[in-house]
Structures are given as structure tokens and as C-alpha cells.
Amino acid sequence: MPEVLTLAARDGQATGPEADPSSPLALRGLTVSYGEKPALFSVDATFPAGAMSAIIGPNGAGKSTLLKASLGLIPRVSGQVTVFGQPLAAARDRIAYVPQRASVDWDFPTTVIDVVLMGRYRKLGLFGRVSRAERALATEALARVGMDAFAGRQIGQLSGGQQQRVFLARALAQEADLYLLDEPFAGVDAATERAIIDLLKELKAQGKSVIAVHHDLSTVTAYFDHVFLVNVRAMAEGPVDTTFTPSALAETYGGRLAATQLADLALTVG
Amino acid sequence: MGVEFVQFSLTPILIGVLAAVACALPGNFLILRRQALIGDAISHVVLPGIVVAFLITGTVAAIPMLLGAGAAALVAVVLIEAIRRLGGIEPGAAMGVVFTALFAGGVLLLEQSDTSGVHLDVEHALMGNLETLIWLRAEGWSSLIDPVALAGLPPELPRMGFVAGSIAVLTWVFWRPLKLSTFDEGFAQAIGLPVSAIGLGLVVTAAVAAVAAFDAVGSIIVIAMFICPPAAARLMTDSLSAQVWWSVFFAILSAIAGYVLAGYGPIWLGFSNSVSAAGMIATISGAILGLACLFGPRRARVGVSAGA
């Protein structure tokens, strides 16, 4: 009976079943703590390949923390992160990351095309020349988000939605298989939201995997295939149709969702 | 521009230029990271380090001075981090507390110890001794290719030259990691850059520049050069590489114009004494920043909100 004998954890590493190698992002026993209070506690998750997944939960539930810990941006207390069946360090080339727009200083002295080229820095290394092909790739990434006319613009002159598109173009320039986005629709105009979601669906159609921290519950069913509900602990995960239910939401959000909101959601889910 | 210039002005100007450039280069990144005060902090905290090194070794030779200064800078960096983390205090306040306390401690030590026989005093710490870094062995421009005369160069010149050259090379080699981790640390980390090491490397580089420049030109120039040329440069352009070039240009301009004005300005105005070169260089860099604030092509940018 090997299952019975399996330890829950050894040396802080979960020893549960091996992560599914086809999953673009699998977490086992992920625990992260700021000070003494855990921000995430023993979270297991298996995100499906070739799908659009949303990470959903109330404020302070650890949504962004989950993304950042998966990328190694913040230290984890324990747990395993597996990217396409490999440890994170071996799979960095396959991940593109779109941080929260507000996490950087847009007053930085640089241009739109320069920011997109930063998506190539891992491949370019310290001295790799920015060849014509690299520049063309960056320009094409800008064209895909409708920002090619702004290539030479200083980034501080852009609107919030345009800034978000530039960040997305930088992620496209990374030529990855997994796209991790932290609140991509926060503070953007309706046209940008439309453009971003169309692009993400296009990525999915190309077989890429998309995982986004998302907070607008009313658009979950329209935008995503898979949801992961989190509130410090993993609350539920699965296809939107079966997992994104009023009862699961009520449990995830505790008393923080008004009954009317739940009723509205029941309509969108129904 | 004859023998006298080479003997009395060439080396101080060169040392001033090299010190200014060595501080201005890392200053560009420190300013963009909102860490500009680090240079200020380091140039203050080296004083107790230098005094302690003198008390231990009894000399003002360069190596023990630099080691003492370096050790003090390290202590300060650790203290700042400790106060910031343990006290939950914002970095600017932690730096302010550490550098004033250590500088004050250095002044107390200096007053209590017997340094009358050497040129170690508060004034020297602030102003340096740029005017005394002369090249008496020189007999004209031809001395620049005369090995005997070159051996008589003030040792500060090759030392400052080495530091400034190394910092220029480091800035060039690590340009992309520095730029990316300064702009977007999260993304830099996500593509595998060691952002903590890059940040630490930048601060250590700034500390080396501050310590070497402090030895040659005093803390006033160090503080001014970390902030004024890069800040003025930021107002001239929206490109990081152009900003760095502008900052180097402003640093060189401040050093040369400041030295010349300090030496000859008062005489042109009819006074008989010259004024402190270090003070004048710092003043000129401040004036350049003032002009950039008023007339710099990108001055409207600061504080403009992007809107949503």
C-alpha cells in the first residue's frame, strides 16, 4: 500500500503524487508567509495545459502571492513548483510574466520598443546584439497589441490601458508557452480589455497556456475555461462550468460577497 | 597653459573629473531606484572608519584609510538594513539616522584623538585636499610621456583613474541587468536575473566610488556628484543611455568649471584669495541642476500623471 506509507512532507517538500508533466504549472504544498501569518498555506494546484485559467479569491487571499511564489519572486516556506514537469529554474525560458502595471515607475527614462525588447534580454544575455530580427520580433509583438504606432514613445506618456498593452507585448516577445498575468484588466479601458482578452484567446488557440489573477467575477465565465479559487488555502479548482458555483464562491469569500452579488453570479453561471 | 598649468592645475582637475564621473555613473541608477541618499550616507559614514583606521595604525597612508572607510561603509549598509527591517522604518529615515549618527561619532572621535600631526580634520573630511594634489615633478606637457615625471604623479590620480575606469566598465558590462532590474525588478527576477545581487553590487560599487573619491576630494563633492549630474541629466532626455552620457558630461563640466572658477574666479572679481575647489565644484553641479530644472527639455515630465 504505497499511498498509505507516503509521507505528507519531507524536508519541507511535499512528497505527494508526482506532478503531472503535461501541466504548465503544478503546485504541491505551497506555503508562503509574510512575517508570522501565512499568506498561502499548503496549496496544491494543477493548472491545465492549453487553457485559460483564472486565479480568484478575495483581497488578501494570496492570489498575486501565488503567482509570485510560482515564479520564485518571493521565497516559499515549503512546497514544490513544477513547470511543464520541470523545476522552475529549468523552465524559465517557457514562462512569460506580466506584472501588475502599478508595480513599476512609468516615469523611467525608456521607450515603448525598449520595454518590449526587455522581453528578449534572457535570450540576448549581457552582450547579444539587438539584431534586425530581434527588433522585428518586438515590433510584431507591439502590432499584436495594436501599439506599433507608439514604438518610439516615452512610456510615461501612455495611458493605463496602453501601458498594460506594452507589458503584454513584452510578454509576447518572450515567446513562451505559459503566460502568467497579474491582474491584467486592472484599471484599463474597455477597448483594451477587449483587445487583451482577444489576444489571450488567440494564444490559447495556438496551444499556449494562460493563467491570470482576476478579480472581476462577472467576466469569469466569459473569459476563462478553468478556475482556481483561493483564500490562503486552495478552496476549489476545476472547469468553470462545474467549479465556479455560488456555493464555492460563498465558501471562498466567506461573508465578503453580498447575497445580491451571489445571486447575480448565479445567473451568469447558471 | 604652460608649465604652471601642468604642475598646479592639470592633476587636480583630472582627479576632480575622475571622482565626479565615478560617482555620477552609479548615481544614475541610485536616483532611478529612489536610493540617491545612499551616496550621501556612505560619504558621511566613512569618517569614523577613517578615524578608527588612523587610531589603529597611526598613519594616514592610503591603504588603511581605504580599508577603514570600506569597513565603515559596510557597517552602515548593514545597520541601515537592520533598522529598516527590524524597526519597520522607511529606507530614507533609516539612512538618515545611520549616517548622521556615524558621522557625529566620527567627529567626536576626531576631536578626542590626537590628529594634530596629520592633516586629518573635519574640514579635510568635508572639502578634501584637491588643491594640494599637484604634480611638482612636471616640467610641461612633455612630462606626460616622461616616466620619471610620471612616477611623481600624486597617487590619488592613478587610484581614482582605476576606480572610475572600473565603474565605467562595470556599467557597460551589466547595462541590461542594471536597466531591467531598476525598471521592473519583478520581471527581472522572473527571467532569472539575480536582482538582490545586482542591487547589492550597485550599492557596493557606489561605496567604492564614494570611499575613493572621499579620499581625494572630500565628502561634499561625493554627495553632490551622486545626485546633481544624474538628476540634471534626467531632465535632458527620456532615454537611459542618453541620461548616463549627459550625467558624465555634467560631471566633467562641473569638475573643470568648478576648479577653474575656484582658482581664478575671485581674482577676476578683484579678490586676492581663491576659494575651495570642492565647494565650487559642488556649487556648479547644483547650478547645472537648477538650470536643467528651469530649461531642461524633459522638465515638464516630473509629476505628470499618466492618467488611465
A58 vs B306 pLDDT, higher one: A58
Cβ–Cβ gap A158/B184 under 8 Å: no
- What is the number of other CB atoms lying within 10 angstroms of the CB of residue A219? 15
Q: Thinking of the domain B3-216, which architecture would CATH place it in? A: Orthogonal Bundle (1.10)
Cβ–Cβ gap A126/B177 under 8 Å: yes
Share of chain A above pLDDT 90, in %: 69
pLDDT digits (tens, 9 = 90+) for A144-162: 999 999 999 999 999 999 9
Q: Smallest CA–CA separation between B223 and chain A, in Å?
A: 23
Whole-number average pLDDT of chain A: 87
Instruction: Kindly list the structural domains of chain A, giving each domain's residue range(s) and its CATH number in brackets, ordered by start.
Output: 2-237 (3.40.50.300)
Q: Would strands A178-182 and A209-213 be described as parallel, antiparallel, or unpaired?
A: parallel
**How confident is the model at residue A5, as a pLDDT?**
44
Domain spans of chain B, in order of start: 3-216
**H helix runs in chain A, sequence order:** 2-5, 63-70, 112-117, 121-124, 132-144, 160-173, 190-205, 220-223, 240-243, 246-253, 259-269
Q: Which of residues 139-178 of B touch A (CB under 8 A)?
A: 173-177
Give mean pLDDT, residues B237-246. Answer: 94
Does residue A222 have a pLDDT over 90? yes
Which is nearest to B29 in space by CA: B235, B234, B217? B234
B301 CB within 8 Å of a chain A CB: yes
Cell numbers placing A136: 522585428
Nearest Cβ partner of B183 from A73, A110, A163?
A110
**How confident is the model at residue B54, as a pLDDT?**
83
Nearest Cβ partner of B186 from A99, A108, A163?
A99
pLDDT digits (tens, 9 = 90+) for A77-119: 999 999 999 999 999 999 999 999 989 999 999 999 999 999 9
Mutation pick from A86, A98, A122, A123 vs chain B, by most beta carbons of B within 10 Å, is A122
Give mean pLDDT, residues A238-260. Answer: 83
Tell me the pLDDT band of B263, cut-offs 50, 70 and 90: confident
What is the 8-class DSSP label of residue B89? -
pLDDT digits (tens, 9 = 90+) for A130-149: 899 999 999 999 999 999 99
Tell me the pLDDT band of A270, cut-offs 50, 70 and 90: very low
- Is pTM beyond 0.90? Reply is no
**How confident is the model at residue B306, as a pLDDT?**
37
Does residue A76 have a pLDDT over 70? yes
A92 CB within 8 Å of a chain B CB: yes
**How confident is the model at residue A37, as a pLDDT?**
84
Sequence-separated (6 or more) residues with CB below 8 Å from residue B213: B19, B22, B23, B43, B160, B163, B221, B222, B225
Cβ–Cβ gap B187/A111 under 8 Å: no
pLDDT digits (tens, 9 = 90+) for B69-121: 888 888 887 888 888 888 888 878 888 888 889 988 888 888 787 665 566 66
Whole-number average pLDDT of chain B: 85
pLDDT digits (tens, 9 = 90+) for B115-163: 655 666 666 667 777 877 888 777 778 888 888 888 888 888 998 999 9
A163 vs A256 pLDDT, higher one: A163
DSSP A3-51: HHH--SEETTEE-SSPPPTT-SEEEEEEEEEETTEEEEEEEEEEEPTTS
Does residue B291 have a pLDDT over 70? yes
CA dist A199 → A144, A151, A166, A172, A217 (Å): 8, 19, 13, 10, 20
A264 vs A218 pLDDT, higher one: A218
**How confident is the model at residue B288, as a pLDDT?**
95
Separation of CA B3 from chain center:
29
Cβ–Cβ gap A126/B306 under 8 Å: no
Does residue A233 have a pLDDT over 80? yes
Are residues A186 and A205 in contact, defined by beta-carbon separation less than 8 angstroms? no
Complex ipTM tops 0.90: no
Sequence-separated (6 or more) residues with CB below 8 Å from residue B163: B18, B22, B208, B209, B212, B213
pLDDT digits (tens, 9 = 90+) for B175-190: 999 999 999 999 999 9
Residue A234 amino acid letter: A
**How confident is the model at residue B116, as a pLDDT?**
59
**How confident is the model at residue A116, as a pLDDT?**
96
